[in-house]
Amino acid sequence: MKRGRLLARSWLAAALCLSCTPSTPADPEPGEADALDLERMIRQQRYAPYQPSELFDDGAVMRRPPEGTVPNDRVTGDPGLTRGIAGGAYVTRIPVPVTLDLLRYGKERFEIFCAPCHGIAGDGASEVARNMTQRRPPSLVDARVQAFPPGRIYQVIVEGYGLMRSYETNIPLRERWAIVAYVKALGRSRAAALDALPEPLRERARKELP
């Protein structure tokens, strides 16, 4: 009888010891904790872009930014300068000094960003254009495009148009206006009368033109 009670007490002590043993694993080695956290983040429940959601009234998981918000890297200030629009209309004058240096800079940036699609001469003749099956890039020296106010050409660079994407993140503000000035200069070069050129340019043109 006494021996039975001793055995019962031994089993009870063992059970109590087991119940006091921590159920969590030992502290992870350095680096293991970060890996475990990353694994939990990878496997957590989440929505994919454009996936429907019942959390919102419109049924879409992707939310539009609150009205009036702008990207934190956007240059703000005079909208005529930063967006090409003033008083609800496109600006009709380039809001930076148009100098020969600006035109040269615009030519350089145009040939990097614009010429691959619109052609070196801006006439829409390029290898990319020849291989586009949906809609070819328009000629920028066409009279219809040249009739656009500078602000509209600027905004196309910022926001994109049709199949053309936005270049806002690739082309800073000053470079955009330099390109606009060069596009306008390309159009004028197509329409300039030979007799209207200064004499040195007139002689050069006579030698180079067919």
pLDDT in tens, 43-80: 777 788 888 988 888 999 888 888 888 776 666 778 99
pLDDT computed for residue 12 by the predictor? 44
Structural domain boundaries of the chain? 79-208
pLDDT over 70 at 17, yes or no: no
The CATH topology of domain 79-208 is Cytochrome Bc1 Complex; Chain D, domain 2 (1.10.760)
Please give the Cα distance from 103 to 181 (Å, whole number).
Answer: 6
pLDDT over 50 at 176, yes or no: yes
Instruction: Read off the pLDDT of each residue in 119-145 and give the average, rounded to a whole number.
Output: 90
- Residue 91, classed as helix, strand or coil, is coil
Q: Which residue would you say has higher pLDDT here, 20 or 180?
A: 180
pLDDT computed for residue 8 by the predictor? 47
pLDDT over 90 at 26, yes or no: no
Predicted structure pTM score: 0.63
Please give the Cα distance from 180 to 95 (Å, whole number).
Answer: 11
From residue 178, give the alpha-carbon distance in Å to each of 8, 44, 208. 93, 48, 27
Its sign, for the CA torsion 31, 36, 39, 40, is negative
Please give the Cα distance from 159 to 169 (Å, whole number).
Answer: 10
Please give the Cα distance from 184 to 190 (Å, whole number).
Answer: 10
